């Protein structure tokens, strides 16, 4: 009985992998064995770095807010605490955008946060026994 290899499906699979690795350099784009590994690692990095990008963008918003709030005479952590005390429910992305686009509106938000922070009752300090 002749040996069955399923050649059309195997060739199609290998061709698909090579096509997906077409932008890579050298043997990673030409040879199936290396293209398979390169494609697998590329997918792994893409998945991982989608998470990393979110983290990086959030830290960028925080840096921008810190710079904008310090020009108003307040620190970032006091500003966030004041926002919570004033019950202002804007996230960092929106606040960062407002700080860049509309300085007047951002100054009003900072003023409200500052007033709410100063009106907030201070917690008593713990006394060492």
Residue 123 has pLDDT above 90, yes or no: no
Q: Which residues contact 86 (CB under 8 A, 6 or more apart)?
A: 112, 113, 115, 116, 117
Q: What's the whole-number mean pLDDT along residues 2-9?
A: 89
Domains of the chain: 10-51 (no CATH), 52-119 (1.10.1900.20)
pLDDT at residue 5 in the model:
87
pLDDT at residue 129 in the model:
65
* Residue 116 buriedness (CB in 10 A; 0-12 / 13-18 / 19+): middle
Residue count (the chain): 129
Q: Which residues contact 23 (CB under 8 A, 6 or more apart)?
A: 29
> Residue 48 to residues 5, 42, 52, 58, 62: CA-CA distances in angstroms?
37, 10, 7, 16, 22
pLDDT at residue 125 in the model:
79
pLDDT at residue 122 in the model:
81
* CA-based R_g, the chain, Å: 28
User: What crossing angle do the helices spanning 7-20 and 32-71 adopt, rounded to 10°?
Assistant: 30
pLDDT at residue 110 in the model:
96
pTM of the complete model: 0.74
pLDDT in tens, 90-121: 999 999 999 999 999 999 999 999 999 999 88
pLDDT at residue 46 in the model:
96
């Amino acid at each position: 009985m002749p040996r069955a290899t399923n050649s059309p499906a195997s060739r199609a699979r290998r061709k698909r992998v090579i096509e997906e690795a077409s932008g890579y350099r050298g043997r990673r784009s030409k040879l199936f064995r290396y293209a398979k590994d390169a494609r697998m690692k590329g997918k792994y990095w893409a998945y991982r770095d989608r998470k990393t990008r979110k983290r990086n963008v959030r830290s960028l918003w925080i840096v921008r807010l810190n710079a904008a709030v310090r020009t108003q005479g307040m620190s970032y952590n006091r500003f966030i605490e004041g926002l919570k005390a004033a019950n202002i429910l804007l996230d960092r992305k929106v606040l960062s955008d407002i700080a860049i686009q509309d300085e007047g509106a951002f100054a009003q938000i900072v003023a409200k946060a500052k007033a709410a922070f100063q009106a907030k009752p201070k917690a008593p300090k713990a006394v060492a026994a």
